[in-house]
Each structure stands twice: as C-alpha cells, then as structure tokens.
Structure 1
Amino acid sequence: MILTLTPNPSVDHTLEVDRLVRGEVLRVRATRSQAGGKGVNVSRALAGAGIDTRAVLPIGGGGGAELVALLGDLPRVTVPIGGETRANVTVTEADGTTTKLNAAGPALSPEEIEALLGALDEELGRSPDWVVASGSLPAGVPDDLYVRVAGLAAAHGVPLALDTSGPSLATAAKAGSVSLLKPNHEELAALVGRDLPTLGDVTEAAREVLAWGNESVLVTLGGHGALLVTERDARWARGPRVRTRSTVGAGDSALAGFLAGEGPPPERLRQAVAWGTAAVALPGTTVPQPDDVATDGVSAATEPDPGWRIAPS
C-alpha cells in the first residue's frame, strides 16, 4: 500500500482552447473538473492501476465538498479545516501549451497542521510500503513540514518519496533522510542554484543532493525523459514522441509509475517514463489507466550521455 500526503489539494478546472490570446473573447472547446494536488494525483494514478493506496489531505468549505465528490471512491483520510479548499485553472492550447493559474490555498492554523500530521502518523502505523509527500505548502505551514514528515516516516520505518519545490524542497533536501526526491529539471536547478543545461550537469547536481544524506533522486526532464541517480549509478530513459494535450500532473504520474513498477531500479525508471509519457497525451489532470501505458517505446535505462543538452544554449 502506498500512502500519500497532500497538504494543499485543489479542485482543478481545465479549459481547452485553440490558442490563448490575452484580451480576447475565446471559445472553449472542452471543460473538465478533477480532483487535484500532487499527492492526490499520485493516488489516483495508483488506484487506476489497481494498486492499494490511501490519500491524506485537508478539506474545507464548498471547495472541499466538491473535492470529496470528485475523489469518488478513492480511499482517503480527510482532515477538516476552517479555510476553503482552493480551485486552480489550467488552460491548454491545441499545440499542447499549458498555462496554469494556481491559487495559494487556505491558511492552516497550528492546530490544523498538528491534526494533519496526526492523521498521517496514524496511517503510517499501518506499515505502508511508501509514503509520498507532495505539493506546495498552504499559508501558515512552516517550510520544515516535510522534515517533520520525514521524521514520522523514519520512526515507522517507511521510505519517503518527496515531490515539492521552492523553500520546502530546499529545507527537506538539505536535512537529508529522504528515500526518493523527485524534482523536475527546473526545480533541481533552483535547488542547487545554477543552470543545468546538459545531462551531465543534472547528474552532478543530483549527486550533490545525495551528498546531503538522501538516498536517490528521480529527475523528470519533460520530453527528455527521466534520470535516476543513486549512490551506485545514474540511469537515463526516454519515451517516444507523443502529441501533448496537457503536461499537468505528468510528473505525478511518473512518480506513481516508479513506485508501482516491479523489478530493479532501471526497470522502475522505464515504468516512470512510460506513465509520464501516457499522462501528457491525456487532457487536463487525467491520470493514465493501464491501457494507456506502454513501455515498448521507452528506451532502455542506460548511463546518461553527459553532453546531451536538455536546455537551450
């Protein structure tokens, strides 16, 4: 069973247009509303593949009621809060360009933070195989929340996968003790404070993060696949070219694929790339189902070519 924690979940509204033009009246080709938040997306992807999962998240107000309805029968533990669960808007264009408008989300009181951590601690006592802590932190939550989550996970002997950004990523990564960090290319560059134009640069940055006391780093690289770096080695895999409908949630699906995969880490990496590739071909924050995922077009996980450019000169 894989447990997920999403401190700042959302209702995600997606609008599909031919082309986004500021200041114009645009015709929307399709709309959809889905449960969102990075950990929620991971649980949705896992559940769709028949993998046991449970999501821990705070909910509040009418937005919280809508979120619960959208979650359907997804196993979950909800913690009531006084604020309103946020709503995000994503605009996707016909060429795959994605524009996101993310609300900050409700402020959590110290008591609500403790209630959320208490619910997580109780679920960790059920001995899940992994706990995934994902996403931004709402107002009022200290940057060290995920450090506290790492402590709870360690106390229960449960490995932690962390997918966040900004100060919360830096605080947790530099504290060490994370089993699997999953930044994307831009987040890793911000974490180490320098541009990472090549695979060699990304690999070096990931090894720097390992030196802080973390066990492994899975870096998603958009159309360039994903890179897995451990103390033992570095492996890179790429997926086939697909028509991009939405990039929202692709990294979450990749993380779900890695955790759901079987076999040694290189095969799990190929699963991660396959799941992420499937996600970008789907609309909105739709997560791939088993029939959407194929590893046939994913390259074997090999040592990365250090000179391969993944950013413009």
Structure 2
Amino acid sequence: MVTLTPSPVVDRVYFFEDLVPGTVNRALTVEQYLGGNGINVARTLRLAGNLTRAVAPVSAKDPSGLELMRREGELIRTVLVSPPTRINTVLVSSDGSTTNANQKPGLLPEAEWRSVCEATLDELRTLDADWLVVAGALPMTTDGNPVDLRWLLAQVQQLGVKVCLDVNGADLGRWATSGLVDLVKPNLPELESVAGRQLSTLGDVVAAARELVDAGVGTVLASMGADGLIGVCPNGVRWARVPTAPVINTTGAGDAALAGFLSEGSTITCGNGGSPWTIAFSAALARSAAWGALAVACSTTLLQSLNGTPDVTVQEPDATFRLNHY
C-alpha cells in the first residue's frame, strides 16, 4: 500500500492539564513530528505489519522537516520541493478537547507536483501495491489553481491499483465523482459539505453516502466521531461503533480508522452481495472503529500499539438515530 500526503506538515503538539482560552497556559509536554493524513495512515499500517510506503514532498530548505523524515527510515519516500513545509499547532487538554491551528499549504509549481506524482507511481510499481491513499490538504499551484489529480488517478487506474481519497469537502466533491476513485473517507462536516445540507440522523448520513456511490464511488466510509462509522457500497450499508470509548485526544483518529479499514479490507470488494461480502465488510468496519477508538484513548497523537482493541458492534443502521453532533 502507498499513501500520498500532498502537503505534509510539522506538527507541534502541546499538552495541557487545563486549557483556558484567552489566558496564558503552560504546557505539560510538547511533541514535534512529521505529520499529515497520508503519513499517519502509513504509520498505523506499518504498526500492523502491512508493507507500506508514504510519499511526501518536503521543502529542500527545511532542515528540521528533512531530519524528521530521515527518522522515519524507509517508511517515507521524500520528494524535494520549493515551498516551505507547513507547521500546524495542536493544543490538547486533559479532558480530550483538541484545538488545531493548521497552516495553509504553500503554492507548488506544476513541475514539482508532477515529480510528486511520478514518485508515487514509482512506489506503486516497486511495492506492487493494491491501494493508493491520497490523504490530506491539496496544495494550490503557483498559478492559483488546485493541483490536478486527474493525470495521477488515471495512471493509477491503468496500473490496476485502487484509489482511496481522504481530502477536504471541496476537493472531495470535485474528485469523488470523477469515476477514478474507489473509496472515500469523509468525516461528518466533509460529507455535509459535499451533500450541501445538514445531516442530523444516521438515515441522513446513509442517504448522502449513497449519493456518492450512485455517482461512481465504490465505497464510502463516513466517520461520525462518538457515533462511529457508516460504510456504504452498492450492495449494502453497515454501522460500526464502540459503545463506550474514553476520549483523551481526537487528533489522528480518522487516520487510524482508515488504516484499520484498509488493513482488514485491502482486497475487499462489494462483490455481488450475500453472506461472504457481509462478513468481510463488517470485519473491515469493526477494525476501523476499533483502531479509531484506540487513537482517541491514546495520550499521544501517534499510536504506539494496536493491542487492547475495544469491543465493536456492527449492525444495520437505525435511520432514526440522532447524531450526538446535533
């Protein structure tokens, strides 16, 4: 499996006993590491024993970013680019609340974006990968337009590799209906952005996900925080959640959940229905929910172990269930 993080970051994470907005707060500890959704997914997959490579562009003028990449060893394929590496600030309180200040991606010359795409294709061939995960913020080119994924996704399709897209709502809406994407993983606000309406119940979430499936996406894995995950594909829908899960830190939970689904379901397709499909799809969703729960219960923002996964319930969704978000 190969992941692409189009605009990675250096995450600076501050942990507080009690964080009071508008006042001076003293952090108990501070961590710094290379981040970005695709990198986080790759780390978790590696933790599970999956053969994984993360492609990430990093500024050639950023010694700290290059050093953080070097520490990751063979996990990361570095592509040198000219824009400075982003810095994100994450504030984590002991009650589990998390505040993120994310820097906007820099402008990337089209020639450098093409180099990133070619490095990604090279890794797919080298690993004989079955999935490409494009995850995280998409940068703009120097002419002010979003980077164009079409050439890359078309090349990936020709290789027979499946594509997972985990990007923000605007970019998700643009590419999810391109006919080049097999799996998308929106969170609730991103799915609402694509649907153009508020989603208050499980039935609303399922309906919005089905619209994406009807538009050509193979599978929608929608994360809903404490309400779990909904998996929708042409042959059915399942709802997975952990009945009780302690929340210490929510950063990276969605990435862990996506890694869980792909680790269990890297060869899963919806098939033509029936019991084998139901069992396989439910198992992938169960691992997705379990790994997400492990992530929010972790005191750091990087999963250190996949031991002690909680119990998960997987069932057909209750369309009338009202989401805790509302």
TM-score band by shorter chain is: over 0.9
Cα deviation, 1:229-266, whole Å, max 9, x if unaligned, reads 00000000111422212111100000000011157111
Counting only pairs closer than 5 Å after superposition, residues 24-63 of structure 1 correspond to structure 2 as: 24-60=23-59, 61-63=62-64
| Alignment partner, residue 128 of structure 1 | 129
Letter paired with 1:134: A
Cα distance, 1:63 vs. partner?
A: 4.1
Q: Secondary structure at the match of 2:199?
A: coil
Cα distance, 1:77 vs. partner?
A: 1.4
Cα distance, 1:20 vs. partner?
A: 2.3
Residue 268 to residue 226, structure 1, CA distance change in 2 (3 Å):
same
Which blocks of at least 5 consecutive residues in structure 1 are unaligned?
A: none
CA contact (8 A) 2:15 2:29 kept: yes
Q: TM-score, normalised by structure 1?
A: 0.93
Q: Distance in 1 between matches of 2:99 and 2:83?
A: 26
Cα distance, 1:140 vs. partner?
A: 1.8
Q: Distance in 2 between matches of 1:311 and 1:147?
A: 37
Cα distance, 1:145 vs. partner?
A: 3.0
Letter paired with 2:132: V
CA contact (8 A) 1:12 1:285 kept: no
Q: 2:299 aligns with which of 249, 269, 283?
A: 283
Q: Distance in 2 between matches of 1:305 and 1:184?
A: 19
Counting only pairs closer than 5 Å after superposition, residues 212-223 of structure 1 correspond to structure 2 as: 212-223=215-226
| Alignment partner, residue 270 of structure 1 | 286
Letter paired with 2:297: A
CA contact (8 A) 2:9 2:86 kept: yes
Q: 1:162 aligns with which of 160, 165, 168?
A: 165
1:96 is the counterpart of 2:96: yes
CA contact (8 A) 1:6 1:56 kept: yes
Residue 298 to residue 219, structure 1, CA distance change in 2 (3 Å):
same
CA contact (8 A) 2:34 2:65 kept: no
CA contact (8 A) 2:138 2:147 kept: no
CA contact (8 A) 2:14 2:27 kept: yes
Cα distance, 1:42 vs. partner?
A: 0.4
The number of residues matched between the two structures is 308
CA contact (8 A) 1:240 1:277 kept: no
Cα deviation, 1:132-172, whole Å, max 9, x if unaligned, reads 00000123274363333321220110001110113211110
After superposition, the CA RMSD in angstroms is: 1.7
| Alignment partner, residue 2 of structure 2 | 3
Which blocks of at least 5 consecutive residues in structure 2 are unaligned?
A: 266-278
Q: Distance in 2 between matches of 1:242 and 1:66?
A: 35
Letter paired with 2:301: T
CA contact (8 A) 2:170 2:193 kept: no
1:64 is the counterpart of 2:65: yes
Q: Distance in 1 between matches of 2:119 and 2:212?
A: 29
| Alignment partner, residue 191 of structure 1 | 194
CA contact (8 A) 1:160 1:180 kept: yes
Q: Secondary structure at the match of 1:243?
A: coil
Q: Distance in 1 between matches of 2:39 and 2:289?
A: 19
Q: Distance in 2 between matches of 1:43 and 1:103?
A: 22
Q: TM-score, normalised by structure 2?
A: 0.90
| Alignment partner, residue 140 of structure 1 | 141
Residue 193 to residue 25, structure 1, CA distance change in 2 (3 Å):
same
Cα distance, 1:32 vs. partner?
A: 1.1
Q: Distance in 1 between matches of 2:105 and 2:209?
A: 30
Q: Secondary structure at the match of 1:124?
A: helix
